[in-house]
Amino acid sequence: EVRGASYQQFVRQHVDHPKTSAPNDRVYCNVLMQRRGLTQRRCKPINTFIHAPTGQLRAICVREGRPVGGNLYDSNRSFSVTTCRVLPGSRPPNCRYRAATGVTKVRVACVRRLPVHLEPTYLP
């Protein structure tokens, strides 16, 4: 998934700012995973949305991040995130998710000073 991934794909899969409003976080995940095209061929098992401006995420690759090997960088600041995990037995087009929200640092892969991949974000 990392190979050929692009900045645009990173934004589509992982950036939602300001956070899309929904009655609750479970509905948020069900709606946004579908809207962002992450439930087409299969229900993507886990995906994190970061509720921050793209500029703050690009900055991780330049000055607001710490290199941790390869092209991976840990963010200096914490971000508000929602992590969606698929419920067992879900099948497209009816992918169902449970949600976890929190504030956490993130780890991204950078190519040409742009984030192109988000490492799985585990909320406590």
Domain boundaries of the chain, sorted by first residue: 7-112
Instruction: For 7-112, give the CATH class.
Output: alpha beta
What pLDDT does residue 1 have? 44
What pLDDT does residue 121 have? 74
Low-confidence ranges of the chain (pLDDT < 70): 1-5, 124
Catalytic residue among 10, 14, 32, 95: 14
Catalytic residue among 104, 116, 117, 118: 117
Instruction: Verify cis geometry, omega within 30 degrees of 0, for the bond prior to 53.
Output: no
CA geometry: angle at 87 spanning 81 and 89, to 5°?
155
Is 117 a catalytic site residue? yes
**CA 84 to chain CA mean position, Å:** 9
What pLDDT does residue 124 have? 60
What pLDDT does residue 107 have? 97
Rounding to the nearest 10 degrees, give the CA dihedral for residues 56, 62, 63, 68.
100
CB atoms within 10 A of CB 110: 21
What pLDDT does residue 5 have? 62
CB atoms within 10 A of CB 68: 11
Q: Give the model confidence (pLDDT) of 43-53 as tens digits.
A: 999 999 999 99
